[in-house]
């Protein structure tokens, strides 16, 4: 069943991935490029959560009724999203650290000005 909410969620996910990638493409600042990468990744969060969404379902914490007593949203995609957030934090931190070091060594954070590697 395709509801308006599903369309909006999948559309937003697609938009975020594409706009994030476009941000890296047109970036003139490495900090901006790294943040754009995070934007692209946010698209994957929305996609995953949209996949697990169910109308009128609650959070996946089972109460006294036990499994099956109330409809819950899919906990697997939530676990995947959390894993993804952890990975994102690590990678973003690492890339920003590299950017700081690039600013020290190259004297610039403009990707257009990094001309050391080519050919």
Contact residues: another protein, CB under 8 A: 13, 17, 21, 24-27, 30, 33-34, 37, 40-41, 43-44, 47-48, 51, 76-77, 80, 83-84, 87, 90-91, 94-95, 98-99, 101-102, 105-106, 111-112, 114-119
* Nearest CA among 72, 42, 38, 37 for reference residue 54: 72
Dihedral pair phi/psi, residue 34, rounded to 5°: -65, -40
Which residue's CB is nearer to another protein, number 62 or number 80?
80
Which residue's CB is nearer to another protein, number 56 or number 118?
118
Question: Minimum distance between the CB of residue 37 and another protein, rounded to whole angstroms?
Answer: 6
Residue 113 to residue 30: CA distance in whole angstroms: 11
Instruction: Map tokens 């690492």 to a residue.
Output: 94
Question: Minimum distance between the CB of residue 14 and another protein, rounded to whole angstroms?
Answer: 9
| Coil, strand or helix at 32 | helix
């Amino acid at each position: 069943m395709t509801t308006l909410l599903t369309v909006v969620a999948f559309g937003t996910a697609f938009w975020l991935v594409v706009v994030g990638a476009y941000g890296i493409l047109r970036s003139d600042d490495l900090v901006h490029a790294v943040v754009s990468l995070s934007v692209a990744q946010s698209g994957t969060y929305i996609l995953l959560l949209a996949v697990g969404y169910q109308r009128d379902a609650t959070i996946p914490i089972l109460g006294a009724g036990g499994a099956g007593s109330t409809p819950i949203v899919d906990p697997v995609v939530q676990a995947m999203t959390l894993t993804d957030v952890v990975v994102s934090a690590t990678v973003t931190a690492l890339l920003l650290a590299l950017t700081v070091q690039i600013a020290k060594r190259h004297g610039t954070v403009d990707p257009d000005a990094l001309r050391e590697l080519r050919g």
